Amino acid sequence: MVGRLSQRLKFSDVFVGEWTLEVRGASRGREGREARRAALLASSFALATSLALWGFTVDDALITCRYAHHVATGRGYTFNPGGPVTDGVTPLGLPYLLAPFARGGALQALVAAKLMGAAAHALAAGLVAWAVSTLAGPRLRWAGVGLWLVAAPAVAWSASGLETPLAELLVAAGAALRLVGRREPLGVVLLGLSAWVRPELLPLAVTLGAPRAAGASEPVVGARTFGRIALVCAPFTVAAAVRVALFGRPAPLSALAKPADVTLGLQYSFVCLLVVGAVGLLAPLALRGADRMTRWLSAAFFVHAGAVAFAGGDWMPVSRLFVPALPVLALAVAGLARASTPRATALRAALALAGEIWVWVVVGHKLARVQADRDALIAEARPLLASSRVIASLDVGWLGAAAPDAAIVDLAGVTDPEIASLPGGHLRKKTPDGLLKDRGVDTIVMQLFKDYPVAEPWSETVFARGLEIYVATEPGLEGRFEPAGVLEGRARYVILRRR
């Protein structure tokens, strides 16, 4: 009888064990399907919003595309045909990624860059949604993801043609992997690569890459911590070393052409924090009770704000330098929602959403028409620039597309080492007298201030930027150049041609 009872107990243990295993397997399978569904939904939504602002771009995107066109046509890593190799693209080597799609010109490369950016943004959204779905907690933990995906900066820059969404994807992937504690080296490397794309991301990458992953039992500070820091810094260090070898300086040319102004940087960061949803992190009590990785995510976001301020901010619209950090903000808000009351989380989300709505109301309608305005400007300028061989201007991106065979003298210095080293900030370089003559400039393109006409003499015209006013006062320039036409777009330009 004892033997039969023992056999029944063994049978029961086996049966119950198998049944428990099946239930756990089914639970994990269900969680996996929910995670995939959340990732697909977030990616689809992100892609749809990117298409809604497909018409947004900036002049610098066409600078990268002109480099890519020259690489594709065998002219090399150069901004001007037959010109020297210059470091005019912040993400070192990015033109090579676009080169297979750039043989038809800069505008063709721009289409490819916009498609890549939209895809990168969608993939970033999917990865962050997958990470949030693995967290147990209230439904309001999704508030950060929602705020990120409807934010005008994230939507606009996703299809701008610039490198911003690529940096966003690398940060999103690295942060998501670190949060869920999977593929530890890969997440750290991806964070390091984000600093290759955008150097100001290095402090954020170190802050997120250095701590232990979720669930790790290693010491807080040890050999593995320093190993991860070294791994994070490796791509940034390699990029700096390559730049020293090729160009004689560790930083991209834009850092020299646009010297940092910390005062402006602090103003820039403060405004950006108000409009990108950072109010979602203003929860000191919840932060104290949150898990360790949530605290690191929150710290990383504010560390990035400090790095952007130290870098001097940015002159481009809608918080470009904060966009790569928005996935970190979304994950931090998700973690705080688990340690906060639903009412407090909803209040913070509502305040953040109010800031984002304000941005849409103020500039949303302007963002969608930038590409159309730029295309019209390029089409109008082409016949007027057809005979130009050397053109001087501040806005060299669209000019490079309008006059692909001409040499462009970049008066802002972003693609020109000699001008970049001149004193003065961005758009305020003090070009020496005779520079245009020494470069053989036969055409000058300068932006007019609002609806002001071209004056007589033209040197007394009211121009839009300080450097253009300074150039117009160069002795003898008025006698050597004369107006050849005015481009009557939303941004108006006068074309001056050598007599």
- pLDDT given at position 163: 97
Residue 498, phi then psi, degrees to nearest 5: -60, 135
- Lowest mean per-residue pLDDT among 94-108, 280-294, 439-453: 280-294
Are residue 292 and residue 405 in the same domain, yes or no?
Answer: no
CA distance 398 to 126: 33
Q: Spell 241-251 as b/e; 16+ CB within 10 A means b.
A: eebeeebebee
Are residue 49 and residue 177 in the same domain, yes or no?
Answer: yes
Band (164; pLDDT cuts 50, 70, 90) = very high
Are residue 58 and residue 168 in the same domain, yes or no?
Answer: yes
Cβ(51)–Cβ(155) under 8 Å?
no
Are residue 386 and residue 328 in the same domain, yes or no?
Answer: no
Cβ(423)–Cβ(430) under 8 Å?
yes
313, 339, 367 - which closes a domain: 367
Cβ(464)–Cβ(428) under 8 Å?
no
367, 382, 411 - which closes a domain: 367
Are residue 390 and residue 482 in the same domain, yes or no?
Answer: yes
Band (363; pLDDT cuts 50, 70, 90) = very high
Band (30; pLDDT cuts 50, 70, 90) = low
- 43 in any annotated domain: yes
- pLDDT given at position 183: 77
The more confident residue out of 339 and 184 is: 339
CA distance 333 to 345: 9
Q: What is the mean pLDDT of residues 7-13?
A: 39
Are residue 387 and residue 288 in the same domain, yes or no?
Answer: no
Band (129; pLDDT cuts 50, 70, 90) = very high
Q: DSSP labels for 356-395?
A: HHHHHHHHHHHHTTHHHHHHHHHHHHHHHHTT-SEEEES-
Q: What is the mean pLDDT of residues 199-227?
A: 82
Query: Would the pLDDT of 11 be above 70?
Result: no
Are residue 411 and residue 426 in the same domain, yes or no?
Answer: yes
Number of C-alpha atoms within 13 angstroms, CB side, residue 421? Answer: 4
Are residue 133 and residue 73 in the same domain, yes or no?
Answer: yes
- 23 in any annotated domain: no
Are residue 433 and residue 330 in the same domain, yes or no?
Answer: no
311, 334, 367 - which closes a domain: 367
Band (347; pLDDT cuts 50, 70, 90) = very high
- pLDDT given at position 211: 86
pLDDT tens-digit series, residues 171-210: 999 999 999 987 778 999 999 999 999 999 999 999 999 9
- pLDDT given at position 169: 98
CA distance 427 to 258: 9
**What does the block give as tokens for 353?**
């959403």
Query: Would the pLDDT of 311 be above 60?
Result: yes
Cβ(496)–Cβ(470) under 8 Å?
no
Residue carrying the six token digits 């295309």: 375
Four-residue CA torsion sign, 409, 415, 416, 421: positive
Are residue 341 and residue 395 in the same domain, yes or no?
Answer: no
The CB density around residue 479, as the number of other CB atoms within 10 Å, is: 10
Query: Any idea what the CATH number is for the domain that residue 444 is in?
Result: 3.40.190
- 5 in any annotated domain: no
Query: Is 107 in a helix, a strand, or coil?
Result: helix
- pLDDT given at position 14: 37
Band (16; pLDDT cuts 50, 70, 90) = very low
**What does the block give as tokens for 278?**
């950072």
CA distances from 475 to 244, 435, 481 (A): 38, 12, 12
Q: How far apart are the first and last CA of the chain?
A: 116
The more confident residue out of 33 and 94 is: 94
- 20 in any annotated domain: no
- 240 in any annotated domain: yes
> What is the number of domains present in the chain?
2
- 3 in any annotated domain: no
CA distance 254 to 424: 13
pLDDT tens-digit series, residues 174-184: 999 999 987 77
- pLDDT given at position 399: 97
Give the CA angle between residues 359, 360, 364 to the nearest 5°. 115
Are residue 355 and residue 311 in the same domain, yes or no?
Answer: yes
Q: DSSP labels for 119-172?
A: HHHHHHHHHHHHHHHTS-S-GGGGHHHHHHHH-HHHHHHHTSSSSHHHHHHHHH
Q: What is the mean pLDDT of residues 248-252?
A: 94
Nearest to 441 by CA among 380, 499, 359: 499
Average of per-residue pLDDT values in the chain: 91
The more confident residue out of 33 and 434 is: 434
- 276 in any annotated domain: yes
- pLDDT given at position 29: 65
- pLDDT given at position 212: 77
- 15 in any annotated domain: no
- pLDDT given at position 301: 98
The 390-393 sheet, strands edge to edge: 407-410, 390-393, 443-447, 492-498, 481-488
CA distance 80 to 400: 9
CA distance 165 to 117: 5
- pLDDT given at position 157: 98
Are residue 404 and residue 359 in the same domain, yes or no?
Answer: no
Domain that holds residue 284: 32-367
What percent of the chain is predicted at pLDDT more than 70? 92
- DSSP class of 73: T
**What does the block give as tokens for 230?**
């070294």
- DSSP class of 314: -
Query: Would the pLDDT of 162 be above 80?
Result: yes
Residue carrying the six token digits 């402090």: 203
- pLDDT given at position 1: 43
